[in-house]
Chain A
Amino acid sequence: MIETQDAARRVQLDATTTQRPNNQDNVVLQVRDLRVHYSTPSGDVIAVNGITFDVYQGELIGLVGESGCGKTTAAMALLRLVQPPGRILDGQVVINGTDLLSLNEQELRQVRWRELALIPQGAMNSLNPVMRIKNQIADGIETHEGKQPPAALKERILKLLTMVGLPGRVYNMYPHELSGGMKQRVCIAMAIALNPSLIIADEPTSALDVIVQRIVAQTLLDVKKRLGVSMILIGHDMGLLAQLVDRIAVMYAGNIVEIAPVKEIFAEPLHPYTQLLIASIPSVKERKPLVITGGLTHDLRNPPPGCIFQLRCPYVMDICRQVTPPLRELRPNHYVACHLYEQE
C-alpha cells in the first residue's frame, strides 16, 4: 500500500525525459547491420534484417513494434543470447569500444552484466525457484567482483532493494513468495547491481496490471536518473513507452524504419508505419475511428524486394517495390527509411 502512495506522489512526467540526451557525443552502444535468422525446415526466417542504431550515454531509447517484428530477438542478439534454431548471421555490437560479437565465451562472460545487463520479459519465471533472492542478487555481484565480505554484501543488496522500492524482508525470501511486480523489481535490482553502462529492458511492464506497471515504470526512471545508466526499453505499447523514453526506434518485420526523439516522432511521424502506430493509440480526449491496415503481411522467409513495408503501405510507389530505402538522417537526429523522403 505504501508503494502505491509513493507512486501516486511521483506521477508527474519527469521533465528531463523530453529533452535531448544528456551527452550526445558519448556513444555507449553502436549496433551496425545486425542480422539474425531462424532455421526452419522450409528455409530461414529473417527475424532481424540488418538493423543499425546508436545508444547515447544516459538516454532511454524505446524499441517499439508489433508482435513478431523481431524486437525481442534483436535484444537477445545484443546479449548474444539467441537460442537455436536462431543464429546471428552478421553485424557488430560495439559497447564502450568492444565488439561483443567478436569475443570468445570467456571474454563475453566478463563483459556481460558489468557493461550490459538485462531485465527480462516475464520476470515470473526469470528467477531461480530454489534460490533465495539474496543469493540470486549476490551471485551476479560475486561472479564479477570476486568474493565479498558478508556484511558489506548484505548491506549492498539491501540498498539495491531499497532503490527499487522493495522492503528489506525480500532479502531472505524465495521467488514464489513474491508478487509479479515485486519479482520484476528484483530483476531491476539485479540489473543495476554492477552499475552497467547499458540495460536492456524487454517488455518490463507487459505482464503486469496497470497500477504495478506505473510503479515499475517509475522505478526504471528513478534508476536512470540516479545512476545515469542508458537503457533500451522494448515494448509494443507506444503510448506507455512515450512517457518514459527520450528517443523511439520503430521496428517492422526485422527492420528499423524510423528513429527520432519522442516529441518529434509524435508531432511529426514520418514513416507511414509509425503514423499507423500512433493513430492506433487510444486517446482519452477524442474518439478516433479504428484504423485497419489493408494489405498482407509478407512471408518472413521470403521478404519482397525493396521496402519491407510495401505490402501494407498506403503510399506505396513503384520504386518501393524495387529498391530498399536506406535509413537516412532526414532532420537532425531524426532518421527514417522511406522513399517518400528520398527526394529531399
Chain B
Amino acid sequence: MATITAEQSDLEKKGIDLNRWDSPWLNPKFVIGAFMILLVVLIEIIGPVFWDVSMANTASAPLNLPPVWAEVTPGFGFGQPDLAHPLGTESNGRDMLALLIAATPRSLRVGLIAAGIGMTVGIILGFTAGFLGGWVDNLIRILSDAFITIPALAVLIVISAFVRQITIENMALLLALFAWPGPTRLIRAQVLSMREHGYVRMARLSGASSLDIMFKEMMPNLLPYLAASFTGNVSINILAATSLEALGLGPTRVPTLGMTIFYAIRAAAILRGMWWWWGFPILMLTVIFVGLFLMTVGLDEIANPRLRGAQAQ
C-alpha cells in the first residue's frame, strides 16, 4: 500500500505530514478538548461573580419564560421573554442561566472524584498484578473482568433506588465502585508489556527496587496512557451520574444538570416545546463530553505515535 512511482517521489516534499511544533503534547485534538473544558471551568468560576446564582432555586423567577431571542409560540402558556432571565426559566421558577452556573460544577466534580478514585485503585491494583504475577495477578484480572461485564448502570440504579437521599459525594463513591476495572486492566496490560522491555530489565539488574522501577522507569512512559484513561474515565463517570439523575435518582436538594433533565422530562417539556429547559443542560453536557472525548483521543495519539498522521497508506 506504500508504493510510489519514481515520478511521484520526486514531487512529494515530505514522507509524512508533521506537526509544525515539535512537542507531541501539542496535539490539536488534545488542545482543543482541553480548551473546551477550561471554558466550562471558567464559566463556573466566573459565573457567580456576574450572575445571581441563588436564582437556581425554585420559585426565584417567573415561570416558563423562553430565552430572550426566542419567539413566543402562542397557546403554550409561556410568559414574555425577559432580559433578566436571558436563558429562560422553567416551570419551577428556576432561572436557566443560574442553573447552568450552579449545576455544572457538580457534574464535573462527580466525574473527577469517581475517576480519581478509580484511577488510584487502578494504578495500585494494576501495578500489583503486573509486578507480582502469579495468583495475585489472576485474582485481580478475574475480578476486574467480572466487574466490567456487569452492567454498571443497572446495578447503580438498584443501589440508588434503595438509597433515597444521595449527595454528590456519595454518588461519586458509588460510581467509583465500577470505575476501577477499566484503569486496572489498562495499567496491568501496560506493566506486563513494559516489564519485558530492555530498560526495565536493566534497572532490575542494576539492583533498583521495584518501587524505583515503577516510578522512575515506567511511569514516565505510562503518563500519556494514564492521562487518556483518566479523561476517558471522567467522561464515563459524568455520563453515569447524569444517567442516574435523569432517571430521578440524583440529589434533590441541590441543582444538577441531570436532575434538571429529569424534571424537564417529567413535566413533558419536550412535548410542550420548552426546549430551553432540557436544551441548555444538554448543550453544557455536550461541550463537556466532546471536550473530554477530544482530550482522550488526543492523548491516545500522543501515547501511540502511529495514530498520528492521517492514514495507514
Give residues in A with beta carbon < 8 Å to B. Answer: 38-39, 41, 80-91, 101-105, 108
Contact = CB atoms under 8 A, between A and B. Distances in A.
B4 A80 contact: yes
Contacts of A90: 6, 10
Contacts, number: 43
A39 B14 contact: yes
A93 to B, nearest CB: 9
Nearest to B22: A41
Contact of B18 (A41, A86, A91, A105): A41
A59 to B, nearest CB: 27
Contact of B9 (A38, A87, A103, A105): A87
- Size bracket of the B interface: 10 to 19
A191 B26 CA distance: 45
Interface string B11-46: 010111010001000000000000000000000000
B15 A101 contact: no
B6 A108 contact: no
Contact of B6 (A38, A41, A101, A105): A101
Given A101-B5, A102-B6, A87 B22 contact: no
21 contacts: A38-B15, A39-B16, A41-B18, A41-B22, A81-B2, A81-B3, A82-B4, A83-B313, A84-B15, A84-B16, A85-B15, A85-B16, A86-B15, A87-B9, A88-B6, A89-B10, A91-B6, A101-B5, A101-B6, A102-B5, A108-B3
B285 to A, nearest CB: 39
Contacts of B2: 81-84
Tell which of A83, A87, A108 has the most Cβ of chain B within 10 Å.
A87
Nearest to B12: A87
Interface of B: 2-6, 9-10, 12, 14-16, 18, 22, 313
Of B2, B6, B10, B12, the most chain A CB neighbours within 10 A belong to B6
Nearest to B10: A89
A123 B9 CA distance: 29
Given A80-B3, A81-B2, A108-B3, A89 B16 contact: no
B5 A87 contact: no
B15 A39 contact: yes
Contacts of B9: 87-89
Contacts of B14: 39, 85
Contacts of B16: 39, 84-85
A101 B16 CA distance: 21
Contacts of B313: 83-84
A103 B15 CA distance: 20
A88 B3 CA distance: 10
B15 A88 contact: no
The 3 A-B residue pairs whose C-beta atoms are closest, nearest first, are A85-B15, A84-B15, A39-B15
B18 A88 contact: no
Nearest to A105: B3
B10 to A, nearest CB: 7
A81 B2 CA distance: 7
Contacts of A101: 5-6
A101 B3 CA distance: 10
B5 A104 contact: yes
B9, B10, B313 interface centre (most CB from chain A within 10 Å): B9
A102 to B, nearest CB: 6
Given A90-B6, A101-B6, A102-B6, 8 more contacts: A39-B15, A83-B313, A84-B313, A87-B12, A89-B10, A90-B10, A101-B5, A102-B5
A33 to B, nearest CB: 12
Contacts of A102: 5-6
Nearest to B309: A84
Contacts of A38: 15
Nearest to B14: A39
Nearest to A36: B9
A101 B7 CA distance: 9
Nearest to A101: B6
Contacts of B4: 80, 82, 87-88
B67 to A, nearest CB: 50
